[in-house]
């Protein structure tokens, strides 16, 4: 902090993750004196581990329909002002090779470290001061200025940006810091919960899942009228995979989900056809033409059905079809913030300007990224919200 008793800045940004670094760079490029701080010792760990180490940095389909919020319209302005294409242009400008996987997901060809380095370079080029391992204590507001007590000394600023993320993956440093700041300034918080998280079970369903742990299929998973068609994985605790992570953000405790383990195929009709065409074939082998062998055998064993397909009455085949195409079950819970990719809920969007992310009743205080009650689907959407909300604030501070 240059040895001064009190360091003066135009902007202080707390949280040096995706949103924080992006906002710092934009503010710095506008000539603002910016101090970007984070309590963690290592920079941008969530970026580093994302996308299997290759960072699913955006999605070309990023639009309001892919986000959950108490106010589904809030994200429109920021997403329109800074789009996935805008971020791709930044990536291209830094010479980072990327490729598109399924469903519009974009990944670095080499390493997520490239995105971190890109953001650091953007910050350095904009004159941003970046310090890690900084603990922020008391924050006060007086005469239009924010006064911060930190482990690196006292500092003041006219614009204070909170980019501290949510509660997901605490081992990477997640804390409720941002929510505490909101509470201090009487800003409402939508109750938080884990999102994009594996679901868990107890009893017979858990035993079933444990016996099939490691088996994956393409499935359609539904909660109410919302459904996702992607990979589905059995685990020692329950179920996971992209389709399950997606539906977890919509599932409510105490309600059922419905799983179609063979989307696009009427399994009952298929079994009846095979009963006529290959009557002597073992039923488990017939079902194994639709599902992985272990899964097919487990389902028939669970239903106490054995023998050749011709020996099973149509009524039994209908039951098998129902079990495969419309498997209803009630999760006991989820794995929690320990493995959740995002935090649902957060800073009430009704308290913020959708164009600048500034608190309506607290001048100069901004909230961006995951700490806000805007949560995207799996597949690069949450990074795009980080970039878009950060740019909105960076242009305003």
Inform me whether the pLDDT recorded for 1 exceeds 60.
no
Could you report the per-residue pLDDT of 329-348, keeping only the tens digit for each? 999 999 999 999 999 999 99
Largest separation between any pair of C-alpha atoms in the chain: 87
- 223-227 average pLDDT score: 97
Torsional sign, CA 352, 354, 357, 360: negative
Question: Helix, strand or coil for residue 82?
Answer: coil
Could you report the per-residue pLDDT of 367-392, keeping only the tens digit for each? 999 999 999 999 999 999 999 999 99
Nearest alpha carbon to residue 118 among 168, 43, 171: 43
Inform me whether the pLDDT recorded for 4 exceeds 60.
no
Inform me whether the pLDDT recorded for 24 exceeds 60.
yes
Strands 6-14 and 153-162: parallel
pLDDT number for residue 373: 98
Place of tokens 């639009």: 63
- 111-129 average pLDDT score: 98
CA separation for the pair 83, 105 (Å, rounded): 14
Question: Helix, strand or coil for residue 335?
Answer: coil
Inform me whether the pLDDT recorded for 3 exceeds 80.
no
pLDDT number for residue 6: 83
Inform me whether the pLDDT recorded for 251 exceeds 90.
yes
Inform me whether the pLDDT recorded for 278 exceeds 80.
yes
H or E stretch covering 25 = helix 18-29
Inform me whether the pLDDT recorded for 289 exceeds 90.
yes
Inform me whether the pLDDT recorded for 2 exceeds 70.
no
CB atoms within 10 A of CB 184: 14
Question: Helix, strand or coil for residue 137?
Answer: strand
Q: For the chain, how big is the Rg over CA atoms in Å?
A: 25
- 121-147 average pLDDT score: 98
CA separation for the pair 328, 316 (Å, rounded): 18
- 308-312 average pLDDT score: 97
Q: Which spans in 99-152 are helix H?
A: 113-125
Average pLDDT, the chain: 97
Q: Which tokens hold the place of 297?
A: 């055998």
- Report the topology of domain 6-194+341-394: FAD/NAD(P)-binding domain (3.50.50)
Strands 216-223 and 342-347: unpaired
Could you report the per-residue pLDDT of 60-118, keeping only the tens digit for each? 999 999 999 999 999 999 999 999 999 999 999 999 999 999 899 999 999 999 999 99
HEC string for 353-372: CCCCCEECCCCCEEECHHHE
Place of tokens 């608190």: 359
- Report the topology of domain 198-335: Elongation Factor Tu (Ef-tu); domain 3 (2.40.30)
pLDDT number for residue 45: 96
Give this prediction's pTM.
Answer: 0.96
Place of tokens 């099973």: 312
Percent of the chain residues past pLDDT 90, beyond the cut: 98
Nearest alpha carbon to residue 201 among 121, 272, 256, 280: 256
* Domain edges within the chain: 6-194+341-394, 198-335
Percent of the chain residues past pLDDT 70, beyond the cut: 99
């Amino acid at each position: 902090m240059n040895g001064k008793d009190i360091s003066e800045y135009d902007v202080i940004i707390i949280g040096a993750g995706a949103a924080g670094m992006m906002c710092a760079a934009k503010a710095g490029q506008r000539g603002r004196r910016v101090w970007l701080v984070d309590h963690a010792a290592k920079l941008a760990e969530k970026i580093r581990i994302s996308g299997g180490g290759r960072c699913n940095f955006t999605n070309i389909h990023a639009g309001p329909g892919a986000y959950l919020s108490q106010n589904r319209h809030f994200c429109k302005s920021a997403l329109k002002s800074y789009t996935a294409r805008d971020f791709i242009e930044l990536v291209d400008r830094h010479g980072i090779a990327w490729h598109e996987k399924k469903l519009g997901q974009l990944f670095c060809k080499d390493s997520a470290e490239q995105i971190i380095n890109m953001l650091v370079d953007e910050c350095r080029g904009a004159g941003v001061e970046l310090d890690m391992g900084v603990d922020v204590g008391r924050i006060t507001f007086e005469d239009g200025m924010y006064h911060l007590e930190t482990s690196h000394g006292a500092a003041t600023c006219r614009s204070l940006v909170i980019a501290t993320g949510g509660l997901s993956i605490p081992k990477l440093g997640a804390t409720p810091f941002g929510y505490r700041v909101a509470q201090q300034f009487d800003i409402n918080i939508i109750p938080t919960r884990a999102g994009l998280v594996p679901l868990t079970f107890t009893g017979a369903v858990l035993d079933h899942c444990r016996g099939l742990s490691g088996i994956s299929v393409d499935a359609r998973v539904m909660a109410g009228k919302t459904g996702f068609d992607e990979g589905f994985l059995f685990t020692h605790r329950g179920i996971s995979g992209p389709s399950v992570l997606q539906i977890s953000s919509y599932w409510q405790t105490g309600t059922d989900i419905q799983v179609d383990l063979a989307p696009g195929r009427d399994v009952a009709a298929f079994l009846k056809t095979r009963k006529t065409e290959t009557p002597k074939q073992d039923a488990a082998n017939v079902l194994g033409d639709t599902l992985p062998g272990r899964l097919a055998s487990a389902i028939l064993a669970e239903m106490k059905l054995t023998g050749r397909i011709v020996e099973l009455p149509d009524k039994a085949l209908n039951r098998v079809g129902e079990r495969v195409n419309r498997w209803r079950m009630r999760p006991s819970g989820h794995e929690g913030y320990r493995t959740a990719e995002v935090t649902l809920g957060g800073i009430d969007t009704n308290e913020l300007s959708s164009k600048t992310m500034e608190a309506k009743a607290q001048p100069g205080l901004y909230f961006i990224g995951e700490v806000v009650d805007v949560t995207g689907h799996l597949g690069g959407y949450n990074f795009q919200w980080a970039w878009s909300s950060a740019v909105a604030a960076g242009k305003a501070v």
